[in-house]
Structure 1
Amino acid sequence: MFPGAILLTTVALALAATANPILYNPRRSGAPITLKSAKRVNATGTFNLVVRDQARAKGLKAKAANPKLAFKQAGIVGSIPATNQAVDYTVEVQIGNPPTTYTLLVDTGSSNTWVGSGQSFIETSTSIQTNDQVAVQYGIGDMQGTEFNDKLSLDAGLNVFGQSIGVAISSSGFDDVDGILGIGPNDLTIGTLSPDTTTAIPTVTDNLFSQAVISQNQVAISFEPTVDLSVQNGEITFGGTDSSKFVGSINLAPLTTTQPAANFWGIDQSIRFGNTQILQTTAGIVDTGTTLTLIASDAFAQYQTLTGGVISSTGLLQISSAQFSALKSLFFTVNNVDYEFTADAQVWPRALNGAIGGQPDDIFLVVADIGTPSGSGLDFINGFTFLERFYSVFDTANKKVGLANTPFTRATTNFNSV
């Protein structure tokens, strides 16, 4: 899953340095690099989060079932038309010299970094077009275009030289954003280039590490629950962690060996509702690109019965105020550590009900059906409704995923936001 040797873009680096000799990385003794990220909820119309997330789950499984898919092979795209991102977290990066700023979705479930769905790519003195075309298909959209090597800048003038970046000629499903910052395992990029169909593309994290900008090949993510349609309340840290964003210790769990979850940031986990086990220990993934917290169909059926929820027109389970008062916590057990997903954490922020077609007093649950029964090898997706309550670390070098509680693990803002 994580090749021992990362393909280095040596020629591109040399050419970039020659084109502009003043470009360099100031050494920071391997200090972590932190980027702020913004949460955005698409309020331009109603959308079905469950259908969207199930399509993404289907796309992830299809890709994992054959990680060396031929270029642009049909069948990866989910069963619904491409839709705009419903809810997303974004970061701003600069590409080229002089730089152009791009707003990119943060995605741990894919590994290609690309631009061009919104802001057009602007070639500069550091831009080097490769011989490869690129195509990436997601359960919720797709892109195709040309692969470039270019300078990518983060904060404080820190640069990645020769970063492989897709430049979209066409894309769908990613309106109002410029592309994706893919920070999943780099094997996910195999099959996305042509003619180099067997080549893995180093991620931004990989290159930061290989170019000695950061001392650890890892990325950590902090999200927070919010009741606003758009707010900058997230943080991505490359090369370390931010101790101000979590409480207690980080539990580092080994990556699962179960396919297809093993192709992603996959872990083994069990889930119980109060004291009732609804999902035995099984494999799934941690994924910023999925909005909801998805669980296997049989586990979801038990959850629905235990909560008394009914499927609403939004696709989400809906419960009454009395049922919310009796709602028990979910406990996600990872590497022998319990993570409590409180009643409030299980509720869609009521202040944002209008964005999904609900009324202010409605109570919707963010736990949903993944669309397949347990035993599929990818039986849950801890999406960012989960990650808004827990700090997460994605450690390439040690092949682990870390989780920790945060000051917002037990927040009560989702229910009390109206």
Structure 2
Amino acid sequence: MDTRSLAVDVRAPSGLGRFGEYGGRFVPESLIAACEEVEHAFRDAWADPLFHGQLDRLLAVYAGRPTALTPAWRLSAELGITLLLKREDLAHTGSHKINNVLGQALLAKRMGKQRLIAETGAGQHGVATATAAALLGMSATVFMGERDIERQELNVFRMRMLGAEVVPVGSGSRTLKDACSEALRHWVSSVEDGYYCLGSVMGPHPYPWLVREFQRVIGDEARTQCATELRTATPDFVVACVGGGSNAAGTFAGFVDTPARLIGVEPEGGAAINSGLPGILHGFRTKVLQDEHGQISEAHSIAAGLDYPGVGPEHAYLADLGRAEYFTVSDAEVLDAVRRLAKAEGILCALESAHAVAWVLRAVEDGEIPAGSTVLLTLSGRGDKDMHTLMELS
């Protein structure tokens, strides 16, 4: 059977919040009720046309949706393919994160919460959370690893300018994994007035599903745009970078029932799908980087937003089904991809997004993408935040 033609139904996980064997809710007793409260509120809101109307209007007049589908004309000519870029870098705050955060912030207000609690790696989710909090008159507390604070100074300044409290996390690897742990701990003591605004398709149920639904606007828009732009209507390949995997999950949601090959691209040093084993992390079961004793291994990526040892449960599920394929690229390939896209198209993308670009460049060279193919690639964010890193490595 050609697994690419499978009609996989991932509209919602099982009643236990499972995508196959992955997902679920593995949290302390003190957070069970909080997760259930979020789930019930989301189900109610997602069935309410008024909520959709509020969110759709904010996405249009505030976030700037729909984002453009940009033909990469020069790079397409160089590669012998048709490459289309879904421009989440053009959304307000500079990435796809605003889609999810506006949805969750509206949900939190509906629930009567006053504070948003968030984790961030590259800082884009933190900036989006601080932005939504300012817009809706809420406060925001953002946990961020000390190592990420050092390499993402601009986004830290942006969060504080927007009125958010940025809490440095000095434990463990001092990156996204540890920021997630501290945010969850803080939520335990703040459930009465605080809402955990999780940034990716991970965490305890209902977050992997909830975040995917708020991000599916990417894939739904892109599918409509591709139908206009492409003679075949559907691209041959749909490509996105994967850390936790929210931009990829949102993009894939628009194409999972088509023959398109769904390609997720992980960093070599954080390849949870390719190198991980089933385990529990941050309240959910997924594929996790771990040692022979089952201890969580540290991930590494030049991109702070992909520096995570696990992956969203839906991605692990799609990989097991064979409906989506996951590859890795090196830091060196990512840096080359940033430069090639910038020089060919005048677009400086985020280091996270450049993982997807790097895979396309290599796949064309290796023949994995045949000449004449059509490729949709989600540019999850812009590269302003990475200029300091790029200057150091140039």
Name the TM-score, length of structure 2 as normaliser: 0.31
- More strand by proportion, 1 or 2? 1
- More helix by proportion, 1 or 2? 2
Name the TM-score, length of structure 1 as normaliser: 0.30
